[in-house]
Amino acid sequence: MELYGKGDSKFLWFDFTAGGKRYRGSTKETNPKRAAAIAAIKLAKVLEGNAPLPKRAPALVIFADRFLKWVENAKLEPKSKTYYKDGWRLLEGTKIAGMRLDTITNDDLDLVSFPGSASNTNCALRTLRRMLHRAEEWKVIQRAPRLKLAKEYGRSLRLDDESEKKLIAGAAACKWRKRGSFELFKDVVILMRDTGMRNERELYRMLIENLDWNSRTIFVPDSKTEEGRRSVPMTNRVYEILRRRCAQRSEGWVFPAKTGKSGHRTTMAARFREARKKGGLPKNLVLYCGRHDYGTRVMKKTGNLKAVMKVMGHRDVKTAMKYQHPEVDIVRAALDEPENASPTGA
């Protein structure tokens, strides 16, 4: 067993031969005692035959071929597959792509920048993290490092009343090829604001069988979390839209589509961007902002955090807390109050 240093690495490396095979790699440690312990563990595992180590881990760009084939064939959501493919496109243009899997560290990632916002950076980092964990499971590397994600800030824009009016006015100015497309767009915008449902996973997948006309609720059976299985109340606008959309039908998709494998609508992103532009709205306003507006309004009108969590399918209190906004009018009134005024107003 030999431990040695490499000029391009701050870690100590091991080198040993077992069963006629030579094994070399990084211990991911700088302390000699800890490095020796790690090397001894690696040797023990090789001798036990539990985890034979590769002689040399491949570069990330080489491993990417195997990973992308797995992504294509794995039982993943279509959106997840697209996410990992986008993440690799961000990674392949960086120096990380040429590095061996067992040498990538957080220090290396700190020196790499990705175009766009923090969400773009995290798309690349989550993809890399998934690649490294697959490499560990496939015994290409001994252990995947823990990667630090960039800090993201939640959406602050709301698709409020004013934005809704401008958006629909912008949509009316668009050229709609298919009859009824404008009405569909308008209905989707209103439903997003008045149900707070996740558009792609919940709203577009709405089934008529899950609409309870008597209790005026929508049951969401398949969501992002276990708490996401919930009943959403119908407002008057939602009730009228769904009644009209379903007409005499008693089963099937609320938003059926002739194209695509799913049989239901999956997106309106292109039309949303066009309507947003014509309506003079900011580029970072997306349809999902209707969900943020919904949570804000429910919190403001009920003051009940538990109700917000239940109706929106939130598990974490911190997630629901973002819908608590300071009451501007109360703050203004307090500041305008004379200094010598009595607290009771007497």
Per-residue confidence at 191, pLDDT binned at 50, 70, 90? very high
> Residue 76: phi, psi to the nearest 5?
-110, 155
For 165, half-sphere exposure in the C-beta direction (CA atoms, 13 angstrom radius) is 2
293: its two tokens: 């507006």
101: its two tokens: 């899997």
pLDDT at 52 over 60: no
Token pair 């958006």 is found at 167
For residues 91 and 1, give the distance between their C-alpha atoms in angstroms, rounded to a whole number. 36
- Check: CB of residue 113 under 8 Å from CB of residue 153: no
CATH top class, domain 161-321 = mainly alpha
- Check: CB of residue 313 under 8 Å from CB of residue 201: no
The predicted model gives 162-173 an average pLDDT of 96
The predicted model gives 315-336 an average pLDDT of 64
Q: Which of 167-171, 173-177, 314-318 has the lowest mean pLDDT?
A: 314-318
Kind and range of the H or E element at 26? strand 21-26
Indicate the pTM of the whole model: 0.59
Residue 276: Cβ within 10 Å count: 21
207: its two tokens: 């089934």
Q: Which of 44-58, 233-247, 257-271 has the lowest mean pLDDT?
A: 44-58
The predicted model gives 36-46 an average pLDDT of 82
How far is CA 225 from each of CA 220, 228, 230, 314, 316, rounded to the nearest angstrom? 11, 5, 10, 8, 11
* pLDDT at residue number 262: 86
pLDDT at 346 over 50: no
pLDDT at 69 over 90: yes
Per-residue confidence at 43, pLDDT binned at 50, 70, 90? confident
Q: If you average pLDDT over every residue of the chain, what do you get? A: 86
Q: Where are the domains of the chain?
A: 2-48, 60-137, 161-321
159: its two tokens: 């698709």
Residues 6+ apart with CB under 8 A from 29: 11, 12, 35, 38
Higher local confidence (pLDDT), 248 or 53: 248
